[in-house]
């Protein structure tokens, strides 16, 4: 394997991103701030100010006011809170939840839990072959007893944007709480939550160069949701627990940097994606793109593709070991009884073989155009090696 900085071969930005220098510096500066932000001392006041400023920065990134932003431990807690917290008022007469088959496990599993535990009925809409759920399907599935609609902004595996703005209008018309898991979109696309019109929007700092273990939930109206964590009354009594100052400092810095640089990063990712598509078109190896490849309908940093004739899992390992390239895969190594195939690609109707040969490439602000060339060169070499091992090699 050639000697290079790990970030050069990193094509898994949708899994997590490297912490930016600015966010790391903010966290380092916050490390020794020990006064409890809820205290009455001067250092406590100063730490409260840090939290207030970080919240204001996140609010500016989202196009809203700080009073509507609540810190969580990450995207999963934000998703759990939006779903459980908004359904708690309906337990006496559980109704219907509308969601999609391509949601993150922290949405799908939470909804399954509510169905199992409390008796909610669930409609799980599948996307079409493009990877998008249709607005018509959502409109048709809404029932008089629909208590919640939960839909992601952009899919983590394909990058395909879902029709959340139009669904928000439908939800408003029916007075149905609407949750948007925007974990993959915040920091990648301009997002104005007030214009979007959703009731709850989830975000996670480590998807946009902030630290892990911190995220947030935008809540339009706190009367429509109950807290999950009760206690000392932090976060306007909506999410108790002494605040994670270090992570909050990192999130605030990352959000501010993102707000300033987002357009430039998005254009850069677009250039990378166009270079990748162009190189893939010219290569001798056969590839098939899963979902939309255009940059209006999908995140500029994401491409999911299948390489017929090879296993994605084997390809990913070979690229990592030979060339230090890191990608994500659509199918894990199976056991003897069940296949572990991507539910997202399955819901899109892909054949098992196509899912088994799928890899996800996601890049970001640190990806260079020549990294894309290095990626395609590695892909060509490794596919060739795997095919040589195979039966017709």
Partner 1 sequence: MYNDIIIDNFSDPAHVGDIDGPEYQYEIGNPVCGDRIRIQISATGGRVDSARFRAWGCATSVATANIFCASLERLVLARLGERSDSEIEAMLGELEPSQYHCVEILQQLHRRLVDLAGEDCREATT
When asked if residue 322 is in the footprint of partner 1 (CB under 8 A), the reply is yes
Asked whether position 390 contacts partner 1 by CB under 8 A, the answer is yes
Q: Single out the segment in contact with partner 1 by CB under 8 A; choices: 119-127, 172-180, 293-301, 315-323.
A: 315-323
The total of other beta-carbon atoms located within 10 Å of residue 352's CB is 12
Beta-carbon count within 10 A of 195 CB: 11
Instruction: Select 45 or 334, whichever has its Cβ closest to partner 1.
Output: 334
CB of 265 to partner 1, least distance (A): 31
Taking CB under 8 A as the binding criterion, the range among 152-160, 201-209, 263-271, 326-334 that sits at the site for partner 1 is 326-334
Q: Which of 311, 360, 365, 374 binds partner 1 (CB under 8 A)?
A: 311
Q: Does 67 bind partner 1 (CB under 8 A)?
A: no
**C-alpha span between 305 and 169 (Å, rounded):** 33
C-beta of 273 vs 311, nearer to partner 1: 311
DSSP alpha helix (H) spans, 188-311: 193-196, 234-237, 245-282
Other beta carbons within 10 angstroms of residue 316's beta carbon come to 22
Tokens encoding 32: 């020794």
* 389 binds partner 1 per the rule CB under 8 A: yes
The distance between the two most distant Cα atoms of the chain, rounded to a whole number of Å, is 74
Under DSSP, is residue 26 helix (H, G, I), strand (E, B) or coil? helix
| Of residues 370, 107, 59, the one with CA closest to residue 217 | 59
Q: Looking only at residues 359 through 388 of this chain, which bind partner 1 when binding is defined by CB under 8 A?
A: 388
Q: Which stretch binds partner 1 (CB under 8 A): 87-95, 228-236, 244-252, 306-314?
A: 306-314
Among 92, 144, 223, 391, indicate the residue that binds partner 1 (CB under 8 A).
391
The stretch near partner 1 (CB under 8 A) out of 51-59, 151-159, 197-205, 314-322 is: 314-322
Q: Which of 62, 217, 318, 376 binds partner 1 (CB under 8 A)?
A: 318
- Position 345 contacts partner 1 (CB under 8 A): no
* 353 is an interface residue for partner 1 by CB under 8 A: yes
The owner of tokens 């790990």 is 6
In whole angstroms, how close is the CB of 213 to partner 1 at the nearest point?
A: 22
Determine, following the binding rule CB under 8 A, whether residue 334 of this chain makes contact with partner 1. Answer: yes
Q: Is 332 in the site for partner 1 (CB under 8 A)?
A: yes
Helices (H), 159-244: 164-173, 193-196, 234-237
Does 317 contact partner 1 by CB under 8 A?
yes
Write down the catalytic residue from 258, 269, 272, 333.
Answer: 333
Report the C-alpha gap between 385 and 314 in whole angstroms. 11
Name the DSSP class of 189: B
Among 56, 125, 141, 314, binds partner 1 (CB under 8 A): 314
> For residue 5, which of 381, 383, 374 has the smallest C-alpha distance?
374
**How far apart (Å, rounded) are the C-alpha atoms in residues 86 and 98?**
13
Other residues' Cβ atoms within 10 Å of the Cβ of residue 377: 14
Q: How far is the CB of 279 from partner 1 (least distance, A)?
A: 24
Beta strands in 188-254 (DSSP E): 200-204, 215-219
Q: Out of 172, 230, 321, 368, name the contact with partner 1 by CB under 8 A.
A: 321
Nearest Cα to 173, choosing from 206, 150, 139? 139
- Which lies closer to partner 1 via its Cβ, residue 41 or residue 390? 390
Each residue 152-191 as x (binds partner 1 by CB under 8 A) or -, in order, gives ----------------------------------------
333 is catalytic: yes
- How far apart CA 328 and CA 13 sit, in angstroms, is 10
Q: How far apart are CA 354 and CA 331, in angstroms?
A: 10
- Contacts with partner 1 by CB under 8 A lie at 311, 313-314, 317-318, 321-322, 332-340, 352-353, 356, 388-391, 393
Q: Which residues are catalytic?
A: 333
């Amino acid at each position: 394997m050639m000697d290079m900085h790990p970030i050069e071969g990193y094509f898994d930005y949708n899994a997590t991103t490297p912490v930016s220098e600015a966010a790391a510096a903010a966290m380092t500066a916050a490390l020794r701030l020990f006064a409890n932000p809820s205290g009455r001392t001067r250092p406590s006041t100063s730490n409260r100010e840090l939290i207030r400023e970080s919240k204001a920065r996140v609010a500016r990134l989202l196009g809203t006011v700080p009073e509507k932003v609540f810190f969580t431990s990450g995207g999963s807690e934000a998703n759990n809170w939006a779903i459980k917290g908004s359904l708690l008022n309906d337990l006496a007469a559980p109704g219907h939840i509308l969601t999609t088959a391509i949601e993150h496990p922290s949405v799908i599993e939470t909804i399954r839990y509510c169905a199992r535990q409390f008796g909610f009925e669930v409609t799980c809409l599948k996307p079409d072959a493009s990877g998008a759920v249709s607005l018509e399907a959502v409109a048709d599935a809404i029932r008089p007893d629909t208590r919640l609609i939960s839909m992601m902004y952009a899919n983590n595996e394909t990058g395909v944007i879902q029709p959340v703005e139009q669904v928000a209008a439908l939800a408003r018309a029916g007075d149905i709480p609407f949750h948007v898991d925007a974990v993959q979109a915040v920091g990648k696309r301009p997002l104005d939550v007030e214009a979007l019109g959703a009731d709850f929007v989830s975000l996670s700092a480590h998807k946009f160069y902030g630290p892990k273990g911190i995220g947030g939930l935008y809540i339009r109206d706190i009367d429509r949701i109950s807290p999950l964590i009760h206690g000392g009354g932090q976060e306007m009594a909506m999410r108790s627990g002494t605040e994670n100052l270090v992570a909050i400092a990192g999130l605030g810095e990352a959000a501010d940097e993102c707000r300033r640089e987002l357009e430039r990063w998005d254009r850069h990712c677009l250039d990378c994606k166009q270079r990748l598509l162009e190189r893939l078109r010219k290569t001798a190896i056969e590839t098939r793109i899963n979902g939309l490849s255009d940059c209006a309908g999908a995140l500029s940093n994401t491409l999911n593709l299948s390489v017929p004739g090879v296993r994605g899992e084997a390809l990913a390992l070979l690229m990592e070991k030979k060339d230090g390239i890191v990608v994500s895969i659509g199918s894990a190594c199976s056991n003897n009884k069940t296949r572990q195939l991507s539910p997202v690609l399955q819901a899109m109707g892909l054949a098992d073989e196509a899912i088994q040969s799928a890899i996800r490439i996601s890049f970001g602000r640190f990806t260079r155009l020549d990294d894309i060339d290095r990626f395609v060169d590695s892909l060509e070499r490794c596919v060739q090696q795997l095919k040589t091992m195979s039966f017709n090699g």
